[in-house]
């Protein structure tokens, strides 16, 4: 046994969580403000439902001239369908800030690393590092970003779970609830009804 308590037991897994508190999102943005790449990854991640793989595969040419509320498209390798993502002003501002740091060609990945392009395990480590630096308790990773988007769409903005199910391409509302750590708080009230 290696002593890593965060490693799941064989046959099980540890699910990463959304970042639930808005103040924590603000704190992470402040932490990353002086690092245009990390700031842009975080902002795009929490403002869209892109998968971590789609996020790190973004090309400069896909996003460099986007205006707020324009869409980018990906071909979903599993279904063969085109997936669209709308980028809000926070996203386009973060992209502009990153691109103004220079050294980008249209066919470059938007998110580079010292060794080339950012890869999924590195993104996972970055999210864990940011949350740890601010002592945000919980289990976090690359999927935390899109889960945070969905969680706040529901709790902060009142978006119906059925709509989020469609966005995440889940097979059921139950799957979406579990993915986003959304509990049905109205469930307890059914046990208070007297007959």
C-alpha–C-alpha distance, residues 46 and 48, integer Å:
6
C-alpha–C-alpha distance, residues 124 and 48, integer Å:
17
Say if 157 falls within a structural domain: yes
Say if 14 falls within a structural domain: no
Say if 114 falls within a structural domain: yes
C-alpha–C-alpha distance, residues 143 and 131, integer Å:
13
Say if 10 falls within a structural domain: no
Q: Cα 97 vs. chain centroid, distance in angstroms?
A: 19
Say if 12 falls within a structural domain: no
Q: Which residues have CB under 8 Å from 51's CB, separation 6+?
A: 143, 146
When mean pLDDT is compared across 2-11, 18-27, 137-146, 167-176, the lowest value belongs to: 2-11
Say if 137 falls within a structural domain: yes
C-alpha–C-alpha distance, residues 194 and 172, integer Å:
31
Full residue range of the structural domain in which residue 82 is found: 22-184
pLDDT tens figures, 105-117: 999 999 998 888 9
pLDDT for the residue numbered 6: 47
Asked if 14 contacts 132 with a C-beta cutoff of 8 angstroms, the reply is no
Mean pLDDT of 32-46: 97
Give ∠ CA 138-141-146 in degrees, rounded to 5. 105
Give ∠ CA 59-63-64 in degrees, rounded to 5. 105
Confidence of residue 41 (pLDDT cuts 50, 70, 90): very high
DSSP H or E run through 168: helix 161-168
Q: In whole numbers, what is the pLDDT of the chain averaged over residues?
A: 88
Q: Is the pTM of this model over 0.85?
A: yes
Residue 63 carries which DSSP code?
H
C-alpha–C-alpha distance, residues 48 and 50, integer Å:
6
Query: How many independent structural domains does the chain possess?
Result: 1
CATH number of domain containing 76 = 1.10.443.10
Place of tokens 């050294």: 103
Say if 133 falls within a structural domain: yes
Please state, for a pLDDT cut of 90, what percent of the chain lies above it.
75
C-alpha–C-alpha distance, residues 37 and 122, integer Å:
13
């Amino acid at each position: 046994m290696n002593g890593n308590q965060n490693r799941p037991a064989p046959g099980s897994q540890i699910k990463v969580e959304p970042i639930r508190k808005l103040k924590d999102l603000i704190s992470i943005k402040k932490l990353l403000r002086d690092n245009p790449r990390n700031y842009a990854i975080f902002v795009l991640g929490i403002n869209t439902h892109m998968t971590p793989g789609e996020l790190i595969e973004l090309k400069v040419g896909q996003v460099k001239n986007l205006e707020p509320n324009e869409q980018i498209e990906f071909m979903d390798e599993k279904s063969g369908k085109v997936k669209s993502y709308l980028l809000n002003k926070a996203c386009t501002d973060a992209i502009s800030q990153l691109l103004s740091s220079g050294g980008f060609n249209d066919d470059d990945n938007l998110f580079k690393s010292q060794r080339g392009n950012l890869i999924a395990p590195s993104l996972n480590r970055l999210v864990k590092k940011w949350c740890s630096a601010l002592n945000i308790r919980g289990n976090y990773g690359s999927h935390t970003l899109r889960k945070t988007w969905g969680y706040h769409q529901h709790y902060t903005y009142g978006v119906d779970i059925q709509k989020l199910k469609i966005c995440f391409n889940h097979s059921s509302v139950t799957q979406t609830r579990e993915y986003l750590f959304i509990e049905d708080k109205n469930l307890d009230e059914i046990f208070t009804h007297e007959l």
